[in-house]
Amino acid sequence: MTTGQGSAGGGRFRVPRDRRRPDSRQLWFAAALLGLPPVLHLASADLVTFTLVWFAAASLIRSRASAFDRLMISGAVLIGWTCALGLLAGYWPWGLHPVALAEATALPLAALRLVRPPEAPTGPQPLRARLRRVVPVRDRPVLLGAAAAAVFLFYPLLRRDAVGRLGTVLEAEDLGRHAALYDTILRLGGLASLQRDAAFDTVTLGLGTYPQGSHLTLAVVTSFLHGGTERGAPLAQASLFVTLFTLVTAALAAAVLWAVRRAAGPALRGWRGLALAVPATAYLIVAELPRLHGRGFLSELFALGLLAILVGLAIRPLDRTREQVAVLAALTVGVSFGHYLLLPAAAATVLAWAVVNRRGWLRHWATVLPVALLGGALALFPPYVNHQSAGSADVLTLPGGIGPVSRHLLLPLVVAAFAALLTRGARANRPRRVALLSLTAVSLLCFGVMEYQLATVGVTSYFYEKMLHQLLVVGLICFAAALLPMLGRRALAGQHPGTTGGTGAARLRSGAAVAAVAGCLTFTVVSNAQPDGGRTGWAGSAGRDLLRGEAARPGVAERVAVIEASGAGDGRVAVSLAGSRAWGETVEDWGSAEDNLWLGVLNRDQGRSWRAWEWALHRRSAQDVLDFAATSPEPLRFFVDDSSQLLADLRVLTAGGKHPELAVSVLRKDGDGDLVVEPARLG
């Protein structure tokens, strides 16, 4: 891990001329990278191609880094590359076919491998030494924390089938729209923002220009999983999307933990990283991530993960300046394509790195300038295409469904980070100066949005909470950068490996300090994991609700799946009036307020059905049904409960053969207790 005290470019040895030409290993690398994707596709092993390209990108990083570092950094860079490639994929004839994507990525990777000087061969090493080199001790706390977060988040899905997995996200209104956009990108083979007319039928009005980096990335992963561009059955595709969405949430946890460890620096060696990994993992999976996950904020989760990696690399940069600049540019592009609300925070962090480390990158201005211009141009594409629907500051005052961030945990975290970063010793350290500037910039952005909302509408709302999510991620990372100065380097970091004498006593003191810090911070987090107000501790936490499936609606998911299966080839927009509505009834089956939104996802007609979803949120009478059917530009089929008063009223109004064009189906339980759909007998 680098300390951030130096910059790449100085003091490197010259490569002899006879070693500047590609050697056999480089040629074999390029040949395998370019030749294997078609072969693996014929063998239905495109997922192996995905792994091959990722590992090849990781192997090109020449800065000092562990295997885990390389995978995290290269994965983030490939996301930025994928977003840029999405601008081209909609125009070439192959769309998101895995072979086309793999070859388009392999070409620059192979070129980079061929043009750079070959590395000097290393002698044979014992297996144990090689394993320690691949997974050093300092990475293990992060890997354990990331694994714990993944198990925590995936547990509710592993014990459910496809219908049950759909039921866990039915209340996530935003996720229903994200799912439709993801499916549309799969169908179009590229960004929907570049093919708006073709996307009109399957995407809610106004969503065609929404930032689509997360949806594009998940569509690319799906194409490698499926081995082609064909979409699966609607329910299976939705189940896969829910799984990928959970994977994005788990990846955010891994990215934050990685950035936390990197920001802490090399002084926090080995297992001492548990002092940060344990409480940070608890904070993420018990207090905050379940709320973001439960609301279905796919784009924000995606962009927050990239922002975390960007902040970690800005605080502790790579050894080589050219690599650092290219990585920061790719991350900025990925953040913007994911959710450009985070673009100001990302730009401020990059600017902080550039100011603090200006002597290093100014020596390489000829490389930095074109990379910065290209990255900046690509990063401005999402706000440019979306400026008509979200080009006014008034958007910042729009309301929305969102859970408030726990101030009683966030504010002490930020205050403690500032208190440590403002000390004289911290201000004399370049990485901590970058952390201070980044935290200050994000705090000012939050303050600005808060003041604007208070001045215009009198209260804070949706987008202020979104800004606090950024402060949460950046605050955690900057707190890690400040932890050693705050708690004492000797007590927490332990003895330097090169020193001798008193090793046992030093390890004991360091271990006790690490255990005390980890225990106190974790206890503080878990005991205050509830939102502001309500039940205290674990009992009131969002993490407990996630594990228990408090928001799951399996009955509603079954109804949605049955309705979708019954209407295949019908050509009508399905409108569910079964169960209860969001406004008009107060019963346990509240989740059916969103059944029409997810019917639009499964029926792949959300662009046509979104008006019906809005109309059906309220309790409707039989006359309302007739009026809506008569004025709708789309043919409709209504689904009602067999024993409902609404069905009885419809039979009265259609008696004597009135309104023969009205299409109504009923839902009832058969003898085995399964839900079935059959045409209603009217008039």
Q: Report the run of H or E that residue 261 belongs to, with start and end.
A: helix 234-264
The DSSP call for residue 502 is: -
* 533 and 606 housed in the same domain: no
* 335 and 466 housed in the same domain: yes
Contact 22, 114 (CB under 8 A): yes
Is 423 part of any domain? yes
Is 186 part of any domain? no
Cα 234 from Cα 328, distance rounded (Å): 38
* 471 and 585 housed in the same domain: no
Tokens of 505: 């006593």
Contact 96, 89 (CB under 8 A): yes
Cα 340 from Cα 349, distance rounded (Å): 14
Contact 250, 149 (CB under 8 A): yes
Q: How far is CA 287 from CA 9, 168, 526, 611, in A?
A: 43, 18, 8, 35
* 106 and 44 housed in the same domain: yes
* 374 and 457 housed in the same domain: yes
Q: Report the run of H or E that residue 636 belongs to, with start and end.
A: strand 636-641
Interacting residues of 146 by C-beta distance below 8 A, sequence separation 6+:
250, 253, 254, 257, 258
Is 579 part of any domain? yes
Is 208 part of any domain? no
Structure confidence at residue 299 (pLDDT): 96
What residues make up the domain containing 245?
21-118+136-153+241-494+504-540
* 642 and 527 housed in the same domain: no
| DSSP secondary structure of 118-133 | PPPPPPP--HHHHHHH
Structure confidence at residue 9 (pLDDT): 42
How many structural domains compose the chain?
2
* 324 and 465 housed in the same domain: yes
Q: How far is CA 47 from CA 114, 226, 230, 630, in A?
A: 25, 9, 15, 49
CATH number of domain containing 579: 3.40.50
Residues of the chain with pLDDT under 50: 1-13, 15, 500-501
Contact 313, 324 (CB under 8 A): yes
* 567 and 522 housed in the same domain: no
Helix (H, G, I), strand (E, B) or coil at 20: coil
Among 195, 173, 245, smallest CA distance to 215 is for 245
Structure confidence at residue 538 (pLDDT): 85
* 529 and 560 housed in the same domain: no
* 529 and 663 housed in the same domain: no
Is 273 part of any domain? yes
Is 209 part of any domain? no
| DSSP secondary structure of 563-620 | HHHHTTT--SEEEE--S--TBT--STTGGGGGHHHHHHHHTT-HHHHHHHHHHHTB--
Is 0.75 topped by the overall pTM? yes
Is 50 part of any domain? yes
Is 230 part of any domain? no
Kind of pairing between the strands at 573-576 and 664-669 = unpaired
Helix (H, G, I), strand (E, B) or coil at 96: coil
Cα 477 from Cα 276, distance rounded (Å): 10
* 583 and 667 housed in the same domain: yes
Structure confidence at residue 41 (pLDDT): 96
